[in-house]
Amino acid sequence: MKLSEINGESGNIEIKVKILSLSKREITTSKGETVYYYGLVGDETGVIPYTAWEFPAPIKAGDVVQIKYARSKLYNDRMRLYFDSKTEIIMKPGEDIEVKRTYKETKLMDLSLKNLFVTVTGKISNMSGKEYNKAGNTFKIYNGFIEDDTSRVRISSFGQQLENGKIYRLVGAKVSEFNKQLELSIGDKTEVFPEEEDMDFERYYKLFEVDNPAGGITILGFIITLGTKSGIIKRCSECNKPLSTGVCPDHPDRPTKLDIFSYFTLDDGTKYIQCIAGKNAIMPFLGIKDADLPRVAGEIYKMLDDKLYGHAVRVNADFIKNEEELSLRVNSISAITKEDIEKDIRVSQ
């Protein structure tokens, strides 16, 4: 028998597997202190978790064992093996098994550094390639976004181009953290499967529902404070650094450019959160263009105060994580429409 053939409850499983991990836990029951073991076993067809009430002492992770009289049962939606006093576990020294890696099917909202390799399904957007030279070889890295019905995150792909607007299932994509957000990458070992169906997304959330640095999220709320230092700032046109003196220490002869820096607190009735918004979010909302920035520099705070402070808005934003605290980096702001309110009522119900 192979692991992939185990399905449903059975009391008499005989199987050869490799012990992939082995942990021990002590618990106190009505009968006193007791110990159990748990971990993962694998074979050529898959990996499944186990719980063992008895375990022969010399066996360790990496060993191949023949198991007789094990039980199987669904636990938390996943098949699990159970070894008890009736189970025989026999070492197979010198034998090895090539274990098939499996990766947990994960929604983008649930990405975590605790699970570095995952299977995700999502739609690709804004993907473009850049060439790099390293040790005489040219290779291409593609950067863009992947989104599902829960979140949108950055994705990079080494050498392999994915088509914008298409849905892919990525088996063994890698999770990492960059710029206070989680992102995915596709490497040599990631399997890429184009999917047939299309997906459309409306990711409305209440603030209390989000505890992950998820991206592309829509929140409806009131702006309850506006940061007093919000306004026009100068940035280096080369490195984008904000310049308090007007001259970049690293690029003194490069021109500067104007940006808007604004920060405010958004309250959606379940929680409030700190937000930052730059010119890409603010200018369309205020109805101004790049060329207007020098002219409106003096009155920008008043414009923000008039149109943001105390108003109900619809914000599309990425959550970012500083230490344990989440805040929002705003992609776009708009006034709340009747349609938004209807959706909000539907989400709340």
Nearer to Zn ion, 194 or 249 (CB): 249
To the nearest whole angstrom, how small is the minimum distance from the Cβ of residue 188 to Zn ion? 35
To the nearest whole angstrom, how small is the minimum distance from the Cβ of residue 254 to Zn ion? 6
Nearer to Zn ion, 104 or 241 (CB): 241
Nearer to Zn ion, 74 or 239 (CB): 239
Q: In degrees, to the nearest 5, what angle opens at C-alpha 109 toward C-alphas 104 and 113?
A: 60
To the nearest whole angstrom, how small is the minimum distance from the Cβ of residue 149 to Zn ion? 40
Nearer to Zn ion, 71 or 251 (CB): 251
Q: Which residues pair with 192 in a beta bridge?
A: 170
Strands (E), 107-216: 117-134, 137-147, 152-158, 167-178, 181-186, 191-194
Angle between the N-to-C axes of helices 279-286 and 300-307, in degrees from 0 to 180, rounded to the nearest 10: 70
φ/ψ of 152, rounded to 5, equals -130, 130
Which residues lie near Zn ion (CB under 5 A)?
236, 238-239, 248, 250-251
- 279 vs 261: CA distance, rounded Å: 7
Q: Which residue has the tokens 């039980």?
A: 71
To the nearest whole angstrom, how small is the minimum distance from the Cβ of residue 248 to Zn ion? 3
Nearer to Zn ion, 249 or 284 (CB): 249
Write the burial class of residue 324 (CB in 10 Å: 0-12 exposed, 13-18 middle, 19+ buried).
exposed
Q: What is the DSSP letter of 258?
A: E
- 241 vs 265: CA distance, rounded Å: 24
Nearer to Zn ion, 238 or 340 (CB): 238
Task: Indicate the residue whose CB is closest to Zn ion.
Answer: 236
To the nearest whole angstrom, how small is the minimum distance from the Cβ of residue 240 to Zn ion? 7
